[in-house]
Homo-oligomer: A and B are copies of this chain.
Amino acid sequence: MDEIDRKIIDLLSLDAKRSLADIGGTVGLSPSSVNERIRRLTASGVIKRFTVDLDPAAMGLETLVFVWIALREDADEASFRDFAETNPAILECHHVTGSWSYLIKLRVVAAPEIEGFLTDLKARKFLGRTETLIALSSSVSGAFVQKGSS
C-alpha cells in the first residue's frame, strides 16, 4: 500500500470503469502494472468488490432512518445479529458505546414502514427501549450499495 496504490484506489472509487491504460497514464505506470496492483489489492482484501453506487430515491427508498436499540435483558444477541444480517432494510447495525447497545440504519419506502419493522423486532422479543430518528436531509449521504442478496 504505497502512494500509487492509494491513487489507484482514489481513481477506482470515482469510476471503477476507467481502463487500465487510462489509470496507468494518470499514475505513471503501464497498464499491466496497474492490473497487477489491482489484482493484489483485490486478493489481499483491500478492495472487497467492484460494485455500483445507487440512488436510493430512484430505487424507491426515500426514507433514511436511525433506530437506537437497547436489547431486552434476556435477548439472544446472536439471533438479533442474525436478524440484522438477514433483514434487507437494515443497511448497518453497530454495537456502540453509551447508553444504547445498538445503532441501526435502515432505508424504507416511507415512514409508516418503520412501524412494522419495530413491531417485528418486538414480536421477536428483542426490544427493551428504542428511539427512532428520521433523516430530514443529508448533506453528505455516503454511497448506497444494495445489500448482497446472494
Contact = CB atoms under 8 A, between A and B. Distances in A.
A129 interface: no
Given A92-B140, A96-B135, A46 B54 contact: yes
Given A51-B16, A52-B9, A133-B103, A145 B146 contact: no
A92 B141 contact: yes
Interface string A14-44: 1111000000000000000000000000001
A127 interface: no
Interface residues of A, number: 57
Contact of A14 (B53, B92, B148): B148
Given A53-B48, A54-B48, A94 B143 contact: no
